[in-house]
Structure 1
Amino acid sequence: MAVYVYAVTLHDHPCRIDGLTGVGSHSPAVRTVSTGVLRAVVSDIDEEIRPKRRDVAAHQAVQDRLMADGTPLPLQFGYTAPDDGAVRQVLEEQEDAYRAALERVQGCAEYNIKASHEQEHLLREILDASPEARRLNEEILSGSPDPRLPLELGQLIAAEVEQRRANAADGLLRSLAPLGREHTLHVPGGEDFLNLSLLVPRDGAAALLDAHAELVRADGAGLSVRLTGPLPPYSFVA
């Protein structure tokens, strides 16, 4: 029977998964497939898996239970293998790579930081700081018929926004990246200008939370910094 694979751990991980049910309409029991060194945490599956809310929650519940006792190597939602034998074969063939990856994340959790500017606040800052932007804005508001003015103002503001976002992202990266063992940047979405993941040792989490609290206190300046974690270290699985 096909199996759904949640994570890989070292054999000495407690894997306290009793009572957990896995993805799929039949809510199968979560169990392990082991070699002498590694364990894969799996459950049986006999259907195509789609990212339904219930199944995504079941996948995350397994990761959370494993994270409570040590750092697993989490697999992305949807990974399946033909049967236990195939899982065991991969564990044996890729043992060195899995051990190196587990050593990389050992004792750590992932934290994600997203940042954005409040748009109206940012626009006011630009108009206050740029005489040229103020001049163009005042001419437009006064009813100037020149059709070039809105375009020139839009281009000027767009360039200023891009530069200010880049500067803010660089500043946050320089202050936050040293708090992690490793970091990786993702493509920001929506209004965000920063999407940063940190691999943070468990004994370093307090320093990151303190740094975030300081940034939250700056929200009045139009900067929003959101922290999510601790999370399984998905971003640091090669």
Structure 2
Amino acid sequence: MSALTIPAGDTHLHAVDTSGGAPPLVFVNGGFATLRCWDRVMQRLADAHRTVRYDARARGKSGRSADYSFRATVDDVGRVMAATGVERPVLVGWSHGATAAVRYAAQHPGEISGLVLVDGGFPISMFDDAGKQRVRTQFRRLGPLMRLAAFLGRSARMTPTQAADVAIELDEVNGTLEADFATLTCPAAFVLGTGGHSGASAQEMATLRASAATAEQAGRYVSTFTTAPANHVRILAQSPDLIASAIASVVEQTAGTGRLCA
């Protein structure tokens, strides 16, 4: 396992590259998570695949930035791939990272061999003006807790306004994601969570997850692999076996068809 520092505009990204077989896997974190969130999934994979994980801007050991836009997030996927030299990886994204994985694959035809979308990448926008205001209020209230979590290396080193902007822009991008799914010609598999969490009710999460059907209708090679008995926040920790199985399924489909996302 090797650690590396990757230049990214006005900042740098911390990444961990572990040797293993093909195809390589690149993991894209949730919006305020760090690469450590994948630890239990890594244990299930052993050395079956080369794996690349990284901390996004202002998360974990990566530097702060003046740009936390979704476009920068997507561009950073490419920066990590270029710096590590991985070719035709399977992108495994959770939440915010699942949307970034879909957008990257759609914008870079032929570079990605498959997608595993863990309780994210849902092609639906949920926020009206009142909803956006609720998000801003929620992050103001969470500010002290996020600062503590960031100090412990478990959350983003962002202001409440910056964090709210990330969540709001994600919702906006999700509302345009159906067109991205329509372009995919490689396997893309959802792993859905169950129930609500502190940031969204069970009904809100059910509405989000139901839009996976829209993605399946838009993209011929998009499917739902399974529903995990864990909520959005705990899914990586509580259902690593199911996520590893979804990765194996996508890898098998890729090997059988030789398709790349285009």
- TM-score bucket of the superposed structures, by smaller chain: under 0.3
Larger radius of gyration: 1
TM-score, with normalisation over the residues of structure 2?
0.23
Which has the higher relative contact order, 1 or 2, with Cα contacts under 8 A spaced 6 or more apart? 1
